[in-house]
Structure 1
Amino acid sequence: MTFVLLTMIASVLVTMTIADRLIIPDAGSKKVVAAAADAGGTPGFKKEELAKLNAVLELIETRYYEKVEREELLDGAVSGMMEALDDPYSVYMEKDDALHFSESIEGSFTGIGAEVTTENGKIVVVAPIKGSPAEKSGLLAKDVLISVNGDSLAGLNLQQAVGKIRGPKGTKAKLLVQRSGVTEPIQLVLIRDDIDVETVYGALRPDGVGVIEIRQFSLHTAKRFKEELAKLEQSGMKGLVLDVRNNPGGVLPIVVEISQLLMKEGTTVVQVEDRDGNRDKTLAKGGEAKSYPIAVLTNKGSASASEILAGALQEAAGAKVIGEQSFGKGTVQVSYNKALGDGSLVKMTIAKWLTPNGNWIHEKGITPDLVVEPPDLYTVARISLQETLKQDTLSEAVRSAQIMLHGLGYEPKREDGYFGDETVSAVRKFQNDKGLPSTGEIDTKTAQKLEQAVIEWIQNKEHDVQLLEAIRAVSRK
């Protein structure tokens, strides 16, 4: 199952990536033909359909006012068929994009580190990857990308948006973003960079609670998870927290392999339902029910494979899901490359996935057992400073500054974007504490210090209320 990543792979900012796809290494034309025959249809174009396509091709080649490469026409025709499905997860990738897609599955890529999809013709962020330029800039799940470096993304499909956003490592990507609850668009400036290929981080707290953070489910993630889990168990772990916040997904067999390690053998991990309603259950093998309590941390950026893990452990292993409602992607995609024969690739939705109890979470998400919203400082938009912010001005940048000041312990008394007397006093207190001139105005240096203070606050694990609640949950058990 897959989304499209805003993570540039080999200098691509947005490209196809790793959100839960079934890997079929030899999905060649014979399998495609067999599937069509099983469905009761005749594979390939009928004679009259082929004649129609050839007629259009001939008209373009003989009458169109400019010469057009046949390869471009063929790519356009295949893309058109996939777009006609009206499914954001079914796409055609030309050779270069197909190569980038394969690299992303292996967990190696360069870019800004955020995954996107399309919703109602808009380019929507699924999740920023932890530690990436996207996360550091303040890009959030459900943000809508309006433009990149001044080029509008309105009306573009994913492949066209990819073309607009491409660029080499080290270059700037100026994103104009529309965010729910914010009246004015937000401008974020990101620098494309290498994205950390490590996907699993484990640590044992002094209280005996183990925390394993899974940032995505790429091909090596299961191996790394086994290593970290074994270390924690050997160290006497008393409870386990699995953190899949802002994890956009990955490879389906990998999340199954991880899930079943924590489940009783023979229990259902996930169900896959085809278009005829036939269900195939994947049962846990080789694992065992754990004696220690387990909690899974989710947020709006937990998608696909992350939701499979959360749903499996919640319904079939007694784990508690804590945090926010997850993204809500419940479909399965398969990638076919051998059938096309030229290095290009078709990724197509072929089924739904369901939780062990048969729930389809598509466009709904996994509901936490305990809802814990993050502090405002985790979601506040970074200050987009066009000019110095002064008293009696009104803007979204002022509102962001007020939220930051309040979260850091300074009291602007309001968070509506109006730069009043109380905000002036709060800014002066902050400037005094940071050794800045006490002007009561927010210039570039003050804005930078303010954002730096927010980042440092967020990096302090003692402020992570979602994580702390998950730790308390497994400690109580």
Structure 2
Amino acid sequence: MDNGEKIDEKNEQLNNDGNEVNKYIKLKKFHAIMVLFIIVFLTAGITAFVLSFGDEKVVEKIQIRDREEFAKLYETFDSIKTNYIEKVDQDKLIDGAINGMVESLGDPYSDYMTADETKEFNETISSSFEGIGAQIESKDNNIVIVAPIKGSPAEKSGLRANDIILEVDGKSLKGMSSSEAVLLIRGKKGTKVNLTISRPGVKELVKLNITRDVIPVETVYSEMLNDHIGKIQITSFSEHTYSELVSQIDELKKQGMKGLILDLRQNPGGLLDQAIDISSLFVPKGEVIYQMEKANGERKRQLSNQKEAFDLPMVTVVDGGSASASEILAGALQESAGIKIVGEKTFGKGTAQTAAQYTDGSSIKLTTAKWLTPSGKWIHKQGITPDYLVKMPDYANLPYVDPELVLKKSSGNDQVSAIAKMLQVLGYKLDSVDGVFDESMEKAVIQFQKEHDLEPTGIVTGDTTIGIMQALRDKMLKDDPQMKKAVNVLKEQLK
């Protein structure tokens, strides 16, 4: 859940003029911090998605001893160092003090990161990283999945948006920041991590044993549908997303594309300068992409810098996993380009943060502003409402079943019920789906195994469990009512 492992937080650099600003701040411990504005998503957490932007400011160096309000903090520091029964790590004390101040805000999007956590955070915008591949956020004192990355171990294991990660290898994540959780979840390729998940609508906890892998930051996928309708999916906004998108659009045009469906579902966000450039492909030059509002009410607008207009009909698809930068893009397309949106309400991440880095490599981000859609709507915790609300089928919410479980005749539990419902959706006849592994279910399992070149044991475990869930996923992609609606809306425009 890889800022985006946020589980994986994205370092999304923003600039109100559309230019990325890199700033370094020279600070001594307990000195004031220079800030850069950042839009965060998520998350994660999030979010766990961070969009940064801002103007350079002068750093005023103020010794802590000259600040009366820091007197108690300084005295406490000295008292612990002098009187505590054991030897004290001074750097750990300072990290704890800063972290405590940030956590006292009660804001899941404000965060203090140690040097190691900052390094993990920054790696999420590289070409690849090692982990499970999911975006997370800290929410209500829990670590919550925003969206798994396409093709990642997280997606393949069945992790989904709004899953709550309770434990990692038996260690509770309660009260942890998203950056702290990432350090536990990430790891070398080939190693395993055990997650305990609480899933909305599922009574029992879900246990997942996921093998970490290299997570490539490949973000744009395209295909040509029937009737020369092009489909492009953007899974996140990374360093090369804009150039990848332009390349895919050119290739689809060469194939005779007459209209485009832009799929932003399960996109947790990423680098905002990429979202700005992509928005500018479709939003007319000079039109607003988003607005930034500071605490004092001052607003600044980010305008489209369009160089060449996209001249084909277009529709966008979103869902609850579309967050942060993808919401900025969706809002700009809907309000400033008149492009219709299909799907479900987006995640709803609309705050902006201040970011700064210490000389020791640690860093801090604080919520300092909010971003608004072109018309001035604040979508935080509300999301963007599509022009056409279309839900996925109920079976899309069936719970993940651990392949290590052994389910056979006479077994009875929620996992049996889930598998029975999956088989029923896939067209197999069962007498009931009430959670009891009866004779009719055994026959259905044997039939499934024969049809998929698996040993016909009638037992659901291992490859059989994976095969059933994959078959359900394939059916969902084939049925996909949101994509079907998008195609129909686009066809109306092509008439």
TM-score band w.r.t. shorter chain: 0.7 to 0.9
Alpha-carbon spacing, 1:341–1:437, altered in 2? closer, same or farther (3 Å):
closer
Aligned to 1:6: 5
Structure 1-normalised TM-score? Answer: 0.88
Q: Does 1:79 pair with 2:117?
A: no
| Aligned 8 A contact 1:21 1:334 in 2 | no
Q: Does 1:100 pair with 2:120?
A: yes
| 1:188 alignment partner, one of 187, 208, 211 | 208
Report the alpha carbon displacement of residue 147 of structure 1 after superposing the two structures with TM: 1.0
Aligned to 1:137: 157
Q: Following the alignment from structure 2 to structure 1, what is the Cα–Cα distance between the partners of residues 14 and 161?
A: 21
Report the alpha carbon displacement of residue 32 of structure 1 after superposing the two structures with TM: 5.0
Report the alpha carbon displacement of residue 407 of structure 1 after superposing the two structures with TM: 2.3
Structure 2-normalised TM-score? Answer: 0.85
Q: Tell me, what secondary structure is at the counterpart of 2:441? A: helix
Alpha-carbon spacing, 1:209–1:449, altered in 2? closer, same or farther (3 Å):
closer
Q: Does 1:394 pair with 2:412?
A: yes
Aligned to 1:380: 398
| 1:17 alignment partner, one of 6, 10, 15 | 10
| Aligned 8 A contact 1:262 1:290 in 2 | yes
Report the alpha carbon displacement of residue 244 of structure 1 after superposing the two structures with TM: 1.2
Alpha-carbon spacing, 1:344–1:436, altered in 2? closer, same or farther (3 Å):
closer
Alpha-carbon spacing, 1:406–1:130, altered in 2? closer, same or farther (3 Å):
same
Give runs of aligned pairs for residues 420-435 of structure 1, distance below 5 A: 420=438, 422-434=440-452
Aligned to 2:43: none
| Aligned 8 A contact 2:117 2:183 in 1 | no
Aligned to 1:114: 134
Q: Does 1:350 pair with 2:368?
A: yes
In structure 2, runs of 5+ residues without a counterpart are 37-54
Q: Deviation per CA, 1:221-271, whole angstroms, max 9, x where unpaired?
A: 122222222333354421111111111101222101110111111211111
Q: After alignment, is 442-451 or 291-300 more displaced?
A: 442-451
Computed over aligned residues only, the root mean square deviation of the Cα atoms, in angstroms, reads 3.0
Aligned AA for 2:480? D
Q: Tell me, what secondary structure is at the counterpart of 1:261? A: helix
Q: Following the alignment from structure 2 to structure 1, what is the Cα–Cα distance between the partners of residues 304 and 252?
A: 22
Q: Following the alignment from structure 1 to structure 2, what is the Cα–Cα distance between the partners of residues 215 and 325?
A: 17
Across the two proteins, how many residue pairs are aligned to each other? Answer: 464
Aligned to 1:211: 231
Report the alpha carbon displacement of residue 5 of structure 1 after superposing the two structures with TM: 3.7
Q: Tell me, what secondary structure is at the counterpart of 2:283? A: coil
Q: Following the alignment from structure 2 to structure 1, what is the Cα–Cα distance between the partners of residues 457 and 361?
A: 60
Give runs of aligned pairs for residues 151-166 of structure 1, distance below 5 A: 151-166=171-186
Q: Does 1:179 pair with 2:199?
A: yes
| 2:241 alignment partner, one of 210, 221, 236 | 221
Aligned to 1:11: none
Alpha-carbon spacing, 1:258–1:334, altered in 2? closer, same or farther (3 Å):
farther
Q: Percent identical across equivalent pairs?
A: 41
| 2:485 alignment partner, one of 450, 463, 469 | 469
| 1:403 alignment partner, one of 409, 421, 426 | 421
Report the alpha carbon displacement of residue 435 of structure 1 after superposing the two structures with TM: 5.3
Aligned to 2:469: 451
Q: Deviation per CA, 1:56-109, whole angstroms, max 9, x where unpaired?
A: 111111111111111111111111122122111111122222223222123432
| Aligned 8 A contact 1:140 1:379 in 2 | no
| Aligned 8 A contact 2:3 2:122 in 1 | no
Q: After alignment, is 256-265 or 93-102 more displaced?
A: 93-102
| Aligned 8 A contact 1:462 1:468 in 2 | no
| Aligned 8 A contact 2:4 2:270 in 1 | no
| Aligned 8 A contact 1:21 1:332 in 2 | no
Aligned to 2:52: none
Q: Following the alignment from structure 1 to structure 2, what is the Cα–Cα distance between the partners of residues 217 and 98?
A: 19
Report the alpha carbon displacement of residue 293 of structure 1 after superposing the two structures with TM: 1.9
Q: Does 1:126 pair with 2:146?
A: yes
Aligned AA for 1:472? N
Aligned AA for 1:17? K
| Aligned 8 A contact 1:15 1:100 in 2 | no
Aligned AA for 2:267? N
Q: Following the alignment from structure 1 to structure 2, what is the Cα–Cα distance between the partners of residues 430 and 108?
A: 37
Give runs of aligned pairs for residues 280-429 of structure 1, distance below 5 A: 280-287=300-307, 290-337=310-357, 340-376=358-394, 378-384=396-402, 387-412=405-430, 414-420=432-438, 422-429=440-447
Report the alpha carbon displacement of residue 390 of structure 1 after superposing the two structures with TM: 3.6
In structure 1, runs of 5+ residues without a counterpart are 8-13
Q: After alignment, is 374-383 or 235-244 more displaced?
A: 374-383
Aligned AA for 1:130? K
Q: Tell me, what secondary structure is at the counterpart of 1:176? A: strand
| Aligned 8 A contact 1:332 1:351 in 2 | yes
